[in-house]
Amino acid sequence: MDNNNVNLPPGFRFYPSDEDLVVHFLHRKAALLPCHPDVIPDLELYPYDPWELDGKALAEGKRWYFYSRRTQHRNTKNGYWTTVGIEEPVLTSSQHRVGLKNYLEFYFGEAPAGLKTNWIMEEFRLSDSSASSSSRSSSKTRKHKKDYSKWVVCRVYERNCDDDDGGAAELSCLDEVFLSLDDLDEISLPN
């Protein structure tokens, strides 16, 4: 998707809440309903490292948004995503649970010995009750029900750490990797 071709009004800023992402975007996607404006692209995440999302996902500032299929395979070319913590409920303003949110962290290298980075992904999915109501509200046949619940919407960003070290700048993942290449004698490569 080329974000420059999206026909949006001047001054448009995409800054959705968790509820907005689940109710107004993901629910409509799962129910095969149109979403106007249709700005979030479908993207198979796992071939891409997080720094490669620019130009492929919807960018708003330093955050990237996209739909993807829910999968357990979370390896990329240079690393892997791993779940952190527990699923959090996504609630409406009237305290109804409409979805679930997972946090994932990106590690550079091979599991389980990868180097933790500052890249975070928030993965939103419909709660089971929302997914079943989406499939009932769709005009498609019942055989596609499982397909609807496989969609997730993701928000990816690079976390900025607090300046606990007296104002020194935090190194990005790539900076840390390139700086570690200074000591090539200490690196053991697999055979």
Mean pLDDT, 10 residues at a time, the chain of 191 residues = 55 88 93 83 88 92 92 89 93 94 95 94 84 47 53 94 46 56 56 58
Output the pLDDT for position 84.
93
Output the pLDDT for position 185.
55
Output the pLDDT for position 74.
87
CA-based nearest residue to 177, from 105, 101, 116: 116
Rounded distance, CA 19 to CA 91, Å? 6
Residue with the two structure tokens 């001047």 = 10
Q: Are 110 and 3 in contact (CB under 8 A)?
A: no
Rounded distance, CA 20 to CA 122, Å? 14
Output the pLDDT for position 148.
56
Helix, strand, or coil here: 28? helix
Output the pLDDT for position 119.
97
Rounded distance, CA 101 to CA 29, Å? 17
